[in-house]
Structure 1
Amino acid sequence: MKIKTRLTILFTVLAVAILLVFATVLYWSSEKSREKEFYLLLQKEAITKANLFLDAQVSPATLHQIYSNNRQILHEVEVAVYDTSFHLLYHDAVEIDMVKETRTMVDEIYLKGSLKFYQDQWQVIGLKYHFKNQDYIITATAFDEYGFKKQENLLKTILFMTLVSTVLIFGAGYFYSNRALKPVQDIIDEVNKISVSNLDLRIKPARYKDELHRLGETFNAMLDRLEDSFDAQKQFVSNISHELRTPLAAIIAELELSQRQDLTADAYLKTINNALTDSERIVKLSNSLLDFAKAHYDRSEIAFKEIRVDEVLLDACQQLQQSQPNYKIHLNFLDELDLDQWVSTYGNPYLLQVAFVNLLENACKFSHDNQCSVLISCTPSDIVLAFSDNGIGIAEAELEHIFTPFYRGSKANAFAGNGIGLSLTQKIVSLHHGQISVVSQANEGTTFTIILPHL
């Protein structure tokens, strides 16, 4: 069921329910007013006939005649007069006697002064009437045909108007819900026009500053992010293609050259070594891309556990020195770190080791003496690791770009690399709720600082 249909039905049900409540109150109020007015009429008729009988001394025969004549054309009030000893003094129609007075009823009227009740649909009133130092009991009853007819007509009018109102309310609700949700349909139509080939299209926000306007702005912000993501993805694929094409082209050229010419054993060995070097570059690039993909997983999909940062750092040093024996790394502990909690964090040891290896390798690679100094310190809430070198440094204008994937500074082009390491390191540190910063001066050195939270 569409939202506008649900809204229309909900609006109709709510409005009709309120309408029925008002109609019920109106009908009930009208019925109570009719009942009260008819009881007053019965009281007046009862007192009038009692006065005619007791005061004017009109004969019962004459009163019976008046009653019989009036009863031919309307529901005449039936009156009975008793003394307090339950002796019947006068009755309009003994043969009918709708009230069926009893001694108990007369006594109750005498004690309470008045009594009102229904006999089937006939309203009955009993009164204690004082005349010439003597008390009498009067009962009067009649069927309010005119009042009930008015109530019946009122009920029919209410039901008819409720039915007509329901139709009108449903129509109005459908019209206004359709009008209110038209901006949503416009957004749907505009979103359906957007595809990979035209991600530059945007949704026109609603005219008024309401929730639909915010929805349109939210969609546009999401499209901005998607467009940036697609552009970054295309740039990423282009960079990967370039990075892979260069060593692959070199391997193919070396092999084709050795295939076309008769070379010496040393020349063949040189060709194999060159191809092996380029293959290692491809493998390293593939491993970096795999780590880069892992670092972009959702944090809930990566296995985290309690680890000691110093142990992960030592493993990273051993890994790097196994592949690069000429690299030298100096570890310095600023504080006495006797307690595990001071150097422990909650993280993934593999990813942290990858991040540390990248920083250690860059520091040694770009340093004149292939050395890196790591200073480890702690604060009450964090573990701080500073990776420093005395190498070529980074130009100030390039500092803001160094964490961009595949970006390489102007001085770094003379060194082997693919430009993934620092962006990968930043992502890994971010996954561990840490921070990474850099300070560098050209031809003097660079210091990368990682801050990781304690357990």
Structure 2
Amino acid sequence: MQLRTKITAIFILLTGLFQVAVFVFIYHFSKSYTESEFYLRLSQRATIAAHTYLEDNEMNINIYEDIRERHLQTLPNEREAIYPVSKRTNKEDNHMDKSLPNSFFQEIFDKQYAELKQEKFYYTGLLYNDNEGDFIVILSAQDFYGEGKLENLRNILILAFFLSMIFISLLGQYHAKQALSPISKMIKKVNTIRATNLHLRIEVGAGKDELVELAHTFNNMLDRLEVSFDLQSNFINNASHELRNPLTAILVQTEIGLNKDRTIKEYHSILGGIEKEALRLDTLVNGLLKLAQMDFDKKGIVIEPIRIDETVIEIKKILDTTNPENNIYLDFNHLPEDECLLVFLGSQNLLKVALNNILENACKFSENQKVTLKILADTNNIKIIITDKGIGIPPEELKNIFEPFYRGSNALGTNGFGFGLPLAYRIIKLHSGEIRVSSQIDKGTIVKVSLPNQKKYTSF
């Protein structure tokens, strides 16, 4: 079922239910008022009849008959009955109408007045006290006029309901069409967007409703897709270029070595060049494999509680071995008193790779000047702040630093392939964390890593 049909159906259903409730309310109270009005007429006529007939005055009877004929129109099937009562027992002892229930007469005795509807007849009864004793006066009639009014009202309400349903159905369809028109336009626009025209965007209205928010969401998604396609295209081009260079160098040197007989020293030199390019190629392939591994799902990754200060100390020991000249300072002056705030869930091996890459870059691009690593923690996150005094990153290039193979324009003379930060970025994201980089040329770079601690982190 289309959304437009659903909206129309719900609109019609709710409006129909509301109308039914209103119409039933109107009919119910109209019926109650009509019956109350008719009972009042019956009670008034019963009172007049009691005064007239029980006063034993011929003149009163004649006057009552005259008034009823001239002014009080005889009610349909009107009947009057007066029963003398000497005791309040049952109706058989007083020769009362046996078609009426005992409860009706009992109510007359108890309250001196009672009302009753039996089939199409309305009854009113009252207890009249006279010098000669007690009497029950019962007057009954049919309310053809009131029933006719109620039937007419019922027909009008039914007709009004069906006519309004037709009108509401048309109005609902029009309203649903108008409400969903922007979505239909979005769908048509999105269906025209392909990999070849990812620059296209959905038109955003001037309002602040959910449809405008939806359009912004679509456009943001298209922005991310466009960036992803561009990154993928650049990644393939850069990977092909980087792989081709060492392979070409290996093939050229192999061809030179096989071209003619050479001295042992020359063969050693050629093999040394081949080894250098092979090692470069091995580093490049391993980096590509690590990047590819981060794009797989999380299956096979060992999740365990990790204490961040202990992990940082282990990384520092590794760097002291691989780069003895490093000048890394671990700032633990701001550690929380609660040790649990330093623990989070994740893969210790992957996290070591990420932080090691960041620290290696800090040492490499600052030429082993002082690099400070500070740890902060609260009830929500663990923050790792790494500060160096290196060459910095141009501000306009910060948006590209997490792209594989990308290297800053002022770092082209430094060894590397541009794998460190992209790999660290993927690992941090895999741990539901964030990494932010700020930098100034020739003043240094600050890398801020935020990870959810164990108290906040519920799933990996």
Query: Which amino acid letter does the alignment assign opposite residue 5 of structure 1?
Result: T
Tell me, in whole angstroms, the C-alpha distance in 2 between the residues paired with 1:386 and 1:26: 76
* Equivalence for 1:90: none
Q: CA deviation at 1:175?
A: 1.5
Tell me: CA distance 1:18–1:426, structure 2 relative to 1, closer, same or farther (3 Å). Answer: closer
Higher mean alpha-carbon deviation, 172-181 vs 199-208, is at 199-208
1:122-161 to structure 2, matched below 5 A, reads: 122-130=121-129, 135-161=134-160
Tell me, in whole angstroms, the C-alpha distance in 1 between the residues paired with 2:392 and 2:275: 33
* Equivalence for 1:16: 16
SS at match of 2:415: coil
Deviations 1:76-127 (A, max 9, x none): 211011223279xxxxxx9xx9664688865642442211112233111101
Q: CA deviation at 1:198?
A: 0.6
Query: Which amino acid letter does the alignment assign opposite residue 81 of structure 1?
Result: I
Higher mean alpha-carbon deviation, 44-53 vs 371-380, is at 371-380
* Equivalence for 1:324: none
Tell me, in whole angstroms, the C-alpha distance in 1 between the residues paired with 2:375 and 2:302: 25
Tell me: CA distance 1:103–1:366, structure 2 relative to 1, closer, same or farther (3 Å). Answer: closer
1:289 and 2:291 matched: no
Tell me, in whole angstroms, the C-alpha distance in 2 between the residues paired with 1:18 and 1:383: 57
Tell me: CA distance 1:316–1:431, structure 2 relative to 1, closer, same or farther (3 Å). Answer: farther
Query: Which amino acid letter does the alignment assign opposite residue 309 of structure 1?
Result: T
Query: Which amino acid letter does the alignment assign opposite residue 403 of structure 1?
Result: I
Tell me, in whole angstroms, the C-alpha distance in 2 between the residues paired with 1:345 and 1:232: 34
Query: Which amino acid letter does the alignment assign opposite residue 83 of structure 1?
Result: P
Higher mean alpha-carbon deviation, 111-120 vs 27-36, is at 111-120
Deviations 1:388-421 (A, max 9, x none): 79xxx41664796483433334564344321222
Q: CA deviation at 1:280?
A: 1.5
Tell me: CA distance 1:301–1:191, structure 2 relative to 1, closer, same or farther (3 Å). Answer: farther
Contact 2:198 / 2:222 at 8 angstroms: preserved in 1?
A: yes
Q: CA deviation at 1:52?
A: 4.6
Contact 1:12 / 1:169 at 8 angstroms: preserved in 2?
A: yes
Q: CA deviation at 1:185?
A: 0.8
1:38-437 to structure 2, matched below 5 A, reads: 38-55=38-55, 56-57=57-58, 75-85=76-86, 100=99, 106=105, 108-130=107-129, 135-206=134-205, 208-295=207-294, 302-305=301-304, 306-307=306-307, 308-310=310-312, 312-313=314-315, 316-317=318-319, 320=322, 328-329=325-326, 345-346=343-344, 347-358=346-357, 362=361, 393-394=390-391, 397=394, 401=398, 403-405=401-403, 406-409=405-408, 412-425=411-424, 427-428=426-427, 433=433
Deviations 1:112-165 (A, max 9, x none): 221111223311110123556754321011222332233233223322322222
Tell me, in whole angstroms, the C-alpha distance in 1 between the residues paired with 2:178 and 2:414: 64
Higher mean alpha-carbon deviation, 2-11 vs 39-48, is at 39-48
Contact 2:397 / 2:408 at 8 angstroms: preserved in 1?
A: no
Deviations 1:262-301 (A, max 9, x none): 4334333332332222121121112222333445667898
Contact 1:439 / 1:448 at 8 angstroms: preserved in 2?
A: yes
Deviations 1:307-353 (A, max 9, x none): 522553256337737xxxxx54567667799x995996534332233
Tell me, in whole angstroms, the C-alpha distance in 2 between the residues paired with 1:436 and 1:37: 82
* Equivalence for 1:70: none
Contact 2:392 / 2:444 at 8 angstroms: preserved in 1?
A: no
Contact 2:393 / 2:410 at 8 angstroms: preserved in 1?
A: no
Q: What is the TM-score when the length of structure 1 is the normalising length? A: 0.76
Q: What is the TM-score when the length of structure 2 is the normalising length? A: 0.75
Contact 1:84 / 1:106 at 8 angstroms: preserved in 2?
A: no
Deviations 1:221-258 (A, max 9, x none): 22122212222222222222221121122122222333
Higher mean alpha-carbon deviation, 209-218 vs 375-384, is at 375-384
Tell me: CA distance 1:446–1:298, structure 2 relative to 1, closer, same or farther (3 Å). Answer: farther
Deviations 1:144-197 (A, max 9, x none): 233223323322332232222222222211121111111111111111111111
Tell me, in whole angstroms, the C-alpha distance in 2 between the residues paired with 1:209 and 1:447: 39
SS at match of 2:203: coil
Q: Which has more radius of gyration?
A: 1
Q: Identity rate of aligned residues, in percent?
A: 30
Deviations 1:342-396 (A, max 9, x none): 996534332233245435655676687xx6777677667678686879xxx4166
Contact 1:11 / 1:173 at 8 angstroms: preserved in 2?
A: yes
Query: Which amino acid letter does the alignment assign opposite residue 189 of structure 1?
Result: K
What 5-or-longer segments of structure 2 have no aligned partner? 69-73, 89-94, 455-460
Tell me: CA distance 1:410–1:36, structure 2 relative to 1, closer, same or farther (3 Å). Answer: closer
Tell me, in whole angstroms, the C-alpha distance in 2 between the residues paired with 1:2 and 1:243: 52
Tell me: CA distance 1:238–1:319, structure 2 relative to 1, closer, same or farther (3 Å). Answer: farther
* Equivalence for 1:91: none
Tell me, in whole angstroms, the C-alpha distance in 1 between the residues paired with 2:24 and 2:269: 102
